[in-house]
Amino acid sequence: MKSNFSQQRLLHQGLIASAEKYPQKTALVIEGTPYSYKQLLDSVLRLARGLQKRGLNRGERVAIYMDNTWPCIISIYAVLMAGGVFFVINPQTKKEKLQFILKDSEASFLLTDGHLSRNFLSIIHELSTIRSIIISGAMPELTEKMESFDRVIANANALDEAPFVNPKDLASLIYTSGSTGFPKGVMQTHQSMVFASWSLIEYLRLRTDDRIMLMLPLAFDYGLYQLLMAVSLGATLIAERSFIYPSLIYQRINEQQATVFPGVPTIYATMIEAHRKTNIQFPSITRVTNTAAALPVEYLHSLKEIFPNALIFKMYGLTECKRVSYLEPELLDEKPASVGKAIPGTEVFIRLKDGTPAAMGEPGILFVRGPHIMAGYWKRPEQTERMLYPGEIPGEKILCTHDWFKMDEEGFLYFVGRSDDIIKTRGEKVSPLEVEQVLHTIEGVKEAVVLGVPDEILGEAIRAYIVQQPRVQLTERKIKMICMQKLENFMVPKAVVFLDKMPKSPNGKIDKKALAGALSHE
């Protein structure tokens, strides 16, 4: 199948172009097994044809409930090629949430792994929109709707004619946690995802010979875009299921000579701990990226030792527009607390609550303007309206992040806190991030989280949760004393709780909601 475009307009055209240019090049290394671009495109076209034969119509939603595997990646591109809208559900998602997402999306197809059947078999009869279930790996007892993934591909010819897709058509739903406790689907078009992919490729200075490490779930947009960037560029993606076994990831980096390492602070905390014990180093890595949560400044020195040849990119983003800003790695020492400036092709600005522009250094709400912002939340017009505001150009929408930022005189952004995270104590507003940054400077602190706890006198009291480095014995008194030396009195934690480990989301982020939930039951 030939690409009719010299310029990528649709998300799957990146695969077509790379397969035409580099047919024998390794596109993917999945759990150590290599696959070429020719192999990838051939399997994608066969599955796309199989979906088409089973009645997939343009714009219908297809759920991909799989691990980071060869079938999962084939499925993403096959759905796009057949004109559908894909969304990846984290394989750690359990029955109740899975059922909600499948119902909410009105998915027509479910592509899944057999080992996850315990979660989907008992709810299928309640999902009237699903017409077909295609299962990879170990098969459960088949019902009328179920088929083998391998058999569907083996029995299908390659797709010879793809349906017309407009760049403004939906490409994906990305389900993200909602304030109500139910996830909501962020609608992203082909145009927005193609733009975001190439903007990231540009500022990360990626090249066709890069080898990008992936151990973050493809359900997480940070993980998904590692795939999209690699394939659009014609680079190589080295995929593992997770970071559960760090030693395996370390081995894979070295044996595959990975050059790009995307992580989150919890992953880096684990690596720093290992570095202190065994002095791990990965000289092949030339780019290190961080998002999902603020990277503590105190991690930077250790990361430079672990990745001695790497540029370290601090970034800020949210699912509703993928990425907002990045800091040029050459400025890391000069502006270590900043998350940089807007990504290429976009704009950012800060407004006060009344809508007026914030002065330099004045905290305000960050707004984002660019082709990468979402089309809205799937079937949630009221929540969409809360996020997408009228822009200055008639008919234009801009994204309100609802996150607090400051901007310096050179235009660099500094994260202050999320609107829902701001703690109101003693009549003052406290950013948990500011307190957490101080806690991370204390020797022996591995991870730290700060929450506001209801308090009759203070309104909210500040409580710190801390995981210590092994063989370290910190005390609540010592931590409070250090905080008193570095913070205003009203910002010092009233209580410190020591944990063996932090609750984590499937994406590896510290789950503040789980901590808050535990608080509510005290």
Same domain, 357 and 433: no
Span 25-40, pLDDT tens digits: 999 999 999 999 999 9
The DSSP output letter for 293 is S
Which single residue is written with the structure tokens 């490409």?
171
Average pLDDT (383-403) is 94
Any alpha helices (H) in 207-245, and if so which ranges? 221-233
CATH number of the domain at 391, please: 3.40.50.12780
What's residue 449's pLDDT? 93
Question: Does residue 228 sit within a domain?
Answer: no
Span 408-425, pLDDT tens digits: 999 999 988 777 677 878
Average pLDDT (482-510) is 87
Same domain, 167 and 299: no
Amino acid at 139: M
3-state secondary structure 161-195: CCCCCCCCCEEEEEEECCCCCCCEEEEEEHHHHHH
- C-alpha–C-alpha distance, residues 212 and 194, integer Å: 18
Same domain, 271 and 181: no
pTM: 0.85
What's residue 427's pLDDT? 62
pLDDT band, very low/low/confident/very high, at 73 (cuts 50, 70, 90)? very high
Question: Does residue 407 sit within a domain?
Answer: yes
Which single residue is written with the structure tokens 């949630």?
380
Q: Can you say whether residue 262 is alpha, beta or left, with left for phi > 0 and alpha for psi between -120 and 50 degrees? A: beta
pLDDT band, very low/low/confident/very high, at 71 (cuts 50, 70, 90)? very high
pLDDT at 2 over 50: no
Average pLDDT (252-267) is 94
What's residue 4's pLDDT? 41
Boundary-marking domain end, from 146, 172, 189 = 189
Same domain, 252 and 165: no
HSE-CB for 144 with a 13 A CA cutoff: 4
What's residue 1's pLDDT? 53
Same domain, 358 and 400: yes
Question: Does residue 230 sit within a domain?
Answer: no
Average pLDDT (48-67) is 97
CATH number of the domain at 437, please: 3.30.300.30
Boundary-marking domain end, from 363, 394, 417 = 417
Same domain, 396 and 449: no
pLDDT band, very low/low/confident/very high, at 161 (cuts 50, 70, 90)? confident
The DSSP output letter for 198 is H
Same domain, 117 and 45: yes
Q: What's the residue count for the chain?
A: 522
Same domain, 435 and 405: no
Beta strand pairing call for 287-290 and 311-316: parallel
Q: Name the residue among 116, 54, 49 with its Cα closest to residue 77.
A: 49
Question: Does residue 149 sit within a domain?
Answer: yes
Question: Does residue 213 sit within a domain?
Answer: no
pLDDT band, very low/low/confident/very high, at 241 (cuts 50, 70, 90)? very high
- C-alpha–C-alpha distance, residues 298 and 122, integer Å: 47
- Provide the domain limits for residue 264: 243-417
pLDDT at 319 over 80: yes
Q: With contact defined as beta carbons under 8 Å apart, do 184 and 178 qualify?
A: yes
Question: Does residue 500 sit within a domain?
Answer: yes
pLDDT at 3 over 50: no
Radius of gyration (C-alpha) of the chain in whole angstroms? 23
pLDDT band, very low/low/confident/very high, at 376 (cuts 50, 70, 90)? very high
Same domain, 274 and 368: yes
Question: Does residue 307 sit within a domain?
Answer: yes
pLDDT at 307 over 70: yes
Question: Does residue 221 sit within a domain?
Answer: no
Boundary-marking domain end, from 384, 399, 417 = 417
Same domain, 157 and 125: yes
Neighbouring C-beta atoms of residue 508, cutoff 10 Å: 24
Q: With contact defined as beta carbons under 8 Å apart, do 326 and 374 qualify?
A: no
Same domain, 363 and 440: no
Q: What percent of the chain has pLDDT over 70?
A: 95
Same domain, 155 and 58: yes
Q: Which of residues 119 and 14 earns the better pLDDT score?
A: 14
**Domain count for the chain:** 3
